[in-house]
Structure 1
Amino acid sequence: MAKWTPKHEAPEPLEGPVVATITGGTILWFVLFLVQLPFYGWFDERGHTWWLWTCLAGGGLGLIGVWYVRRRDQALKRAAREKASAA
């Protein structure tokens, strides 16, 4: 097992517009759900209704993700302000 252990440290995580990315993805999941909703009968006849429910679940989980990343972003900004005021 030791031969598979990496020899270098993991890089720092990349920071970017996380809140905007998660919000955009959540909106996309809900739009996909709404676009497929009028075709529910077609999906039901072919046994593909899971496509609709996957989109709805993605949107619901995305709402949790938006809440999470907004709180994380606020905490990071608060920590940066406290560090700057302490220095």
Structure 2
Amino acid sequence: MIAPVEPLDVDGVRTVQVGTALFLLGFLGLLPFYGRLEDEGTTWLLWMCLTGVGLGLLGMEYCKRRRRFRTERHAPVDG
């Protein structure tokens, strides 16, 4: 038997924020090792983290707009 549980209303903002923060920490953590990364040919790791931050910022804006749209759509109309 399945319990009658309402689905979570998740808008994704927190998830994207956490992911963006992790990419930022990865970028900042790898930055002091740029020379070693360059010697080993793995500077793509650094740029991948920076790209993750950039895409995360875009994703945050998208999720916030989506949340705002959903809130306005479900808000009662006064009048």
Mark yes or no: TM-score above 0.5.
Answer: yes
Does 2:36 match 1:64? no
> Identical aligned pairs, as a percentage?
41
Higher RCO (CA < 8 A, seq sep 6+): 2
Match of 2:41 among 32, 47, 51: 47
The one-letter amino acid of 2:68's match is: Q
User: Structure 1 CA distance, aligned partners of 2:70 and 2:29?
Assistant: 37
User: Structure 1 CA distance, aligned partners of 2:50 and 2:9?
Assistant: 28
CA RMSD of aligned residues (A): 1.5
Which residue of structure 1 aligns with residue 30 of structure 2? 36
User: Structure 2 CA distance, aligned partners of 1:65 and 1:21?
Assistant: 10
TM-score (norm. length: structure 1): 0.76
Q: Which has the larger radius of gyration?
A: 1
Give CA deviations for 1:26-76 in whole Å, capped at 9, x if unaligned: 111111000000000110000000000000000001000000000000000
Moved over 2 A (4+): none
TM-score (norm. length: structure 2): 0.83
Give the gaps of 5 or more residues in structure 1. 1-13
Give the gaps of 5 or more residues in structure 2. 1-7
Shift of 1:25: 0.5
